[in-house]
Amino acid sequence: MPNPSPAFDLAEAMRHLSAKDKKLAALIAETAPFRIETDGTESPYEVLMESIAYQSISGKAAATIFGRIKALGSNGRPPSPEQMLKLRKPVLRKAGLSGAKVLAMKDLAQKTIDGVVPTYEQALTMSDDELVERLVSVRGIGAWTVEMFLIFRLGRPDVLPIHDLGVKKGWSVTYGKKHMPKPKELLAFGERWRPYRTVASWYMWRAFERAGYKTTNKIRPARVQKPRKHPKSKRTARKRPRRTHA
C-alpha cells in the first residue's frame, strides 16, 4: 500500500515548530510545504540494499549499478535474501559492486533471513532506537542510513540526522553561522524541535538547497577547540643574601 502522507499530524507539527523557533517559522512560511514521497512498496531489506548500492558514488552511477542488481532478481524486484546469498561474488562484482558492498549485501541478506532485519510490519511496531540498534549491526549500514530509512520509509516524526551535511549546512544558513555545528551542538539545539525533529531537518535541507552551492561552499567546518596551553609559571629566583663573616 502506498504511504504518501506522514504518520503524524503535520499541521500540529508546523504550529509547534513555528511557535518554538522564529527563524524556522520564517523558513516554513517561505518554502514549499513539507512532503515525503514514497511508493510504500519497498521492504526494509530492499531499502537498505539500495542504500548500500548508493554509498560513496554519484547518484547516476549508483542508479545504473542498482538497475543491474535488480535485473538479477525476478518480477522486476531486486534479488530476495535467498537469491542474494546464492549469487556468486563475481556476478555481483560484474554488476558494479565493490568487494565491500558485495559483503555488505550478503550480510544484509543473511540478517534478513535470521530476523535481525525486520519486515515492514515488524518495523512499524519498533522504536527508533531499537531499529537503529538492529540495523547498524548489518555490515556497511551506519546510523545515517538508518535515519534516512526512519524518515523516508517509515515517516517517523522525530529523527534528527546530526551528521548529515545538508542538515548541518542548512542550519548554518538558517541561523546565520559561518561554521557548521558540531553534531553534539546540533543535537542540543534540536531539543527545541522535539517531537518533530524530522520536519525541522527537512526544512534544513530546503534551506541548504535554496541557498545554493555558491553560498554553502563558504560555510566552514565545525570549529575545533584547541586545548588551552597553560603558560609556564616562571619561578622568580630569590637571591640569598651573602653571609658575611665577622
DSSP 234: P
116-147 per-residue burial string, b: 16 or more CB within 10 A, e: under 16: ebbebeebeeeeeeebbebbeebbbbeebbbb
Q: By C-alpha distance, which of 95, 100, 119 is closest to 45?
A: 119
**What is the Cα–Cα distance from 157 to 85, expressed in whole angstroms?**
34
CB 206 within 8 A of CB 170: yes
Which phi and psi (to 5°) does residue 136 adopt? -75, -10
Three-state secondary structure call for residue 121: helix
**What is the Cα–Cα distance from 22 to 40, expressed in whole angstroms?**
34
Active site residues: 164
**What is the Cα–Cα distance from 76 to 71, expressed in whole angstroms?**
7
CB 102 within 8 A of CB 89: yes
**What is the Cα–Cα distance from 117 to 126, expressed in whole angstroms?**
12
**What is the Cα–Cα distance from 20 to 234, expressed in whole angstroms?**
52
Which phi and psi (to 5°) does residue 190 adopt? -70, -5
